[in-house]
Amino acid sequence: MMVLIAAVALTLAIGDHADSVVIGLVIVVNTTVGVAQEIRADNAVAALSALSAPHARVRREGTDHDVPAANVVPGDVLLLAEGDIIAADAALDEAAALLVDESMLTGESVSVDKDTGTSLHAGTVVVRGRGVATVTATGRASALGRIAALLDDRRRPTPLQLRLASLGRVLAAVTLVLCVLVLSQGLVRGLPLGTMAVTAISLAVAAVPESLPAVVTLALALGARRMAARHALVRRLPAVETLGSVSVLATDKTGTLTEGRMVVQHVWTPLTTIELQGVGYEPEGDVLTEGRPVGPAERHEVQEVLTATALCNDAALRPPPSASPDSRWEAIGDPMEGALLTAAIKAGCPDLTELASTHPRIAEAPFDSLRRRMTTVHALPSGGVLVCLKGAPEAVLVRRSSPTPRRRYVSLVRKRHGSRRAATACWQSHRACARRRPDRPQPGSQA
């Protein structure tokens, strides 16, 4: 850019107004494209920043307030519920089946159980349960802030900028030598000094590749546009070239580059193994066994399993907000429970709203790290109760009851080359349930 400005000054000095206008237009176009791209990127970054914990529920002097996350200070009491983004580092004072997604901080896609006395970190998300915590650190003093402080925000030249700078130095040196040579040769031959000075300056201006910055800027702008079409936000144009120079991408461990989305791929029943096809939380996909569609008996078996998982479930599925191809189904709550709901719909289980109406939940024991299972009790239209349980296989299968429930295994795929397994059990009592017994786990209890 400085070379072009110098070229404009030289052409104006020698009276070459046509070249001055052309070079000036190149400068204007180059500046306009770069500024427009940065403004669009800054606006997008600002919009994304507004999504990061914009508000928090705090308790101050015994009164609950909804305040911007930036106004949270150490000593505030945070009131946390499912779906909340934690606004600051805090010490957990109360917890009820609290499950927190810390993937944006640790890279682990599996949510973490939190008990009283543990620490919560800014930017993480409450997947399930509720809690009360006291703020201990905010901003740069938080764990996320300390990580941000480690990042070197100084701008370094990109490989392309280094090569262009090297090219500029070579051109300048060669041009200077040629100009001096032409000027000296003309004076030796007796030509007028003014004529040779204008000739040397013209040679210097001609040697400046004034179209090169425009070509580079246009190429980078086209690259930024292509990346934007693939949902990659480019804030500065040189970043496009820097990304293109990457040859090796190193990650610290598996799970770092996951989307935090889970899919049920296999269901094992006493009769057969069922394969569920489809991706994400979209409730679409074939139900197969040994590569063929399942029969009525097999479908009934898998529907029994997945109906139990849908009842013993606190998640919900949210349809795409618009008809855009980029809109997707989303799980509200734990990703594993969302995957189970999707599998139930694929298998043709009764509608979730209908299940909630015909099998209302009358008691529950939430999942926790000690029990490693979740239990729900549902009233049946006949007057009896249906008990559903899901959890880690080793926590479900070692417990025996009378009558022995039918047991099922469900394999959940977390990422392309890894899987998680959970067991589901249910049993039915035909005795009417007139009222909740005192020893029966109540909703929200820790039994």
113 beta partners: 99
Identify the pLDDT of residue 442.
Answer: 37
Q: What is the pLDDT along the chain (447 residues), one digit of tens a residue?
A: 666 677 677 667 767 677 778 777 877 876 776 677 667 767 766 665 655 546 888 988 888 888 888 889 999 999 998 888 898 999 999 988 888 988 878 877 778 889 888 999 998 988 888 899 999 999 888 888 888 777 656 677 777 778 888 888 888 888 888 888 888 888 888 888 877 887 887 787 777 776 676 677 777 777 777 777 777 777 677 777 777 778 887 766 554 456 667 888 888 877 778 899 888 888 888 988 888 888 888 888 888 889 999 999 888 888 887 777 777 888 877 788 889 999 999 999 988 889 889 999 998 887 776 778 888 999 988 888 888 888 888 777 765 544 444 444 454 433 334 466 676 766 665 544 433 333 333 333 333
Query: Of the candidates 207, 209, 208, which has an alpha carbon nearest to the alpha carbon of residue 181?
Result: 207
Cβ neighbours for 378, distance < 8 A, ≥ 6 positions apart: 311, 359, 360, 361, 362, 385, 386, 387, 388
Q: Is the pTM of this model over 0.85?
A: no
89 close to 138: Cβ distance less than 8 angstroms:
yes
Identify the pLDDT of residue 440.
Answer: 36
Token pair 């917890």: residue: 95
**Which residues participate in catalysis according to the annotation?**
252
DSSP string covering 270-320: SS-EEEE---TT-S---EEETTEE--HHHHHHHHHHHHHHHHS---EEE--
Identify the pLDDT of residue 444.
Answer: 35
Identify the pLDDT of residue 304.
Answer: 87
C-alpha 21/C-alpha 208 separation (Å) is 15
